Structure 1
Amino acid sequence: MQPDEVKRLLEARIEGCEFHIQGEGCNFQVTAIGGVFEGMSPVKRQQLIYAALSEEIASGALHAITIRTLTPAQWAEASPDSDRA
């Protein structure tokens, strides 16, 4: 798979999120930013992403996935362009 394929799958299966995908073959790093993560535990956030990719994981098309989930506020805080001192 290619990063753009993973991104298309996630965008089609989880509404209201922005995805940044890196990697190749069957190993990818997924960064997901969305209001859907507000109030969710870290485990629930990861489960949401895994569930969206369950078919590809089961088939072996995706093997290793590193997931980072952030709310829009957390993303703004983590962004190198933020005004943090």
Structure 2
Amino acid sequence: MNAEEVRSKLKTLDPVHLEVEDFSDGCGKKFRLLIVSDAFDGRPLLERHRMVNNALAEEMPHIHAITMKTLTPEQWKKIKSDQ
């Protein structure tokens, strides 16, 4: 599993912004994700994370850890403007 494969699976969430970082020294076991999608609008954090886990369901047995930020485009815009 590599970052590009994870990115491909997450396309099902129709992200407007997507960052996938493999922080496992290249072994494909630990990923840091930032996903911005309209699909998250009106959904609580736990449901958003479940959506990501469902998108990666086939790969989850091979992944040791995932750190994720799941944002709506409006939340992303606010974060970017605050920087």
Normalising by the smaller structure, the TM-score range is 0.7 to 0.9
Name the residue aligned to 2:75.
74
Aligned length: 78
Q: Matches of 2:67 and 2:55 in 1, distance apart?
A: 14
What value does the CA root-mean-square deviation take over the aligned residues? Answer: 1.5
TM superposition shift of 1:35: 0.9
TM-score w.r.t. the length of structure 2 is 0.83
TM superposition shift of 1:76: 0.9
Name the residue aligned to 2:32.
29
Report sequence identity in percent. 31
Q: State how 1:1-85 maps to structure 2 within 5 Å.
A: 1-11=1-11, 13-14=12-13, 16-17=14-15, 18-23=17-22, 24=26, 25-58=28-61, 60=62, 62-79=63-80, 82=81, 84=82
Asked which structure has the greater CA Rg, the reply is: 1
Q: Matches of 2:9 and 2:43 in 1, distance apart?
A: 22
Is the partner of 2:42 in helix, strand or coil? coil
Is the partner of 1:48 in helix, strand or coil? helix
Specify every segment of 5 or more residues in structure 2 that has no aligned partner in the other structure, as ranges: none
Q: Matches of 2:33 and 2:6 in 1, distance apart?
A: 9
Specify every segment of 5 or more residues in structure 1 that has no aligned partner in the other structure, as ranges: none
